[in-house]
Amino acid sequence: MLGTLYSFRRCPYAMRARLAIQLCLPNGELELREVVLKDKPQSMIKISPKATVPVLQLNSGQIIDESIDIARWAFSLNTELSETMYAESIQAESDALISENDGDFKWALDRYKYSDRFEQDEEYYREKAKGFLAQLEDKLSDHTFLMGNQMTLADIAVFPFVRQFAHVDKKWFDQQKQYHNLRQWLNGLLEGELFVGIMKKYPAWKEGDEPTYFPNVE
C-alpha cells in the first residue's frame, strides 16, 4: 500500500483525484478515508492545515494536498497511460485549460451555485461562466474529448466542475442548444464505468475504523 487518501465523495477536486487514481493504480494501493466536512479528522488537519480535500499522505511521508498534483502523481506511476493521457505534445494546452477551469470558471461557478451569498444574481454569474463553456464546446466540435479522440488528464480535471455547473440548473443547461457537444461529452463521462466506480458510497471515516482500500476496481 502506498499511503492514505482523505476525500469527500461530492467534492469536484476530490473527484478529480479519485478519477486519476482509479485509472492509474491497481486495486487497493491507498487507504481511503471519507471525510465529513463539518467534522474533519484531526489527523488530516495535522498533515494539511488548510484542511481541504483531497489530501494524499504517502508512506514515504510526502503530503500532496492539491488535486491536480495528486492526479499528476497517479499518472507518474503509470507510464503507459501518462504517455497517452498526458503526453508532452498536449501538456501545455492541457495545463492552460485546467488553469482556466480552476481560476475564472471556478470563481464563476461558486457564485452561480451560491448566488444568494454574493452581490449579483444567478444569471450574472452564469454569464461569466459561458466563455469557458463555449471554449469547451468548440474543442468538442472537432473530436470526442477535449484534447482529441481519447480521454486525457484534461477531461478528468475539468469534467467534475462542468458536472457541478450543469446541476445548478439542470433544466436550463439541457435546453441550451449551443452546448450540444458539451452535453454529449458530459453525459458520456457521467455514464462511464470510471465515474460510477469512484462514486461508490463509503461511511464517514473515524479514528480506529477498519481501513477501506482504494481504488476498488471490479
pLDDT digits (tens, 9 = 90+) for 89-118: 999 999 999 999 999 999 999 999 999 999
Query: What are 104-113's contacts with CB under 8 Å, separation 24+?
Result: 104/128, 104/131, 104/132, 105/129, 105/132, 105/161, 106/161, 108/132, 109/161, 109/164, 109/165, 109/168, 112/165, 112/168, 113/164, 113/165, 113/168
pLDDT of residue 98: 98
pLDDT of residue 188: 98
> CA 30, CA 21: separation in Å to the nearest integer?
9
pLDDT of residue 217: 65
> CA 52, CA 170: separation in Å to the nearest integer?
27
pLDDT of residue 190: 98
**Beta strand ranges found along the chain (DSSP E):** 3-7, 30-34, 55-58, 63-64, 212-214
Structural domains of the chain in order of their starting residue, each with its CATH number: 3-81+196-214 (3.40.30.10), 88-193 (1.20.1050.10)
pLDDT of residue 164: 98
The 10 Å Cβ neighbour count of residue 150 is 11
Asked if residue 82 has pLDDT above 80, the reply is yes
Asked if residue 33 has pLDDT above 90, the reply is yes
Asked if residue 218 has pLDDT above 80, the reply is no
Residue 55 vs residues 46, 177, 186: alpha-carbon distances, Å: 11, 38, 26
pLDDT of residue 78: 95
pLDDT of residue 216: 82
**Greatest alpha-carbon span in the chain:** 51
The 10 Å Cβ neighbour count of residue 142 is 9
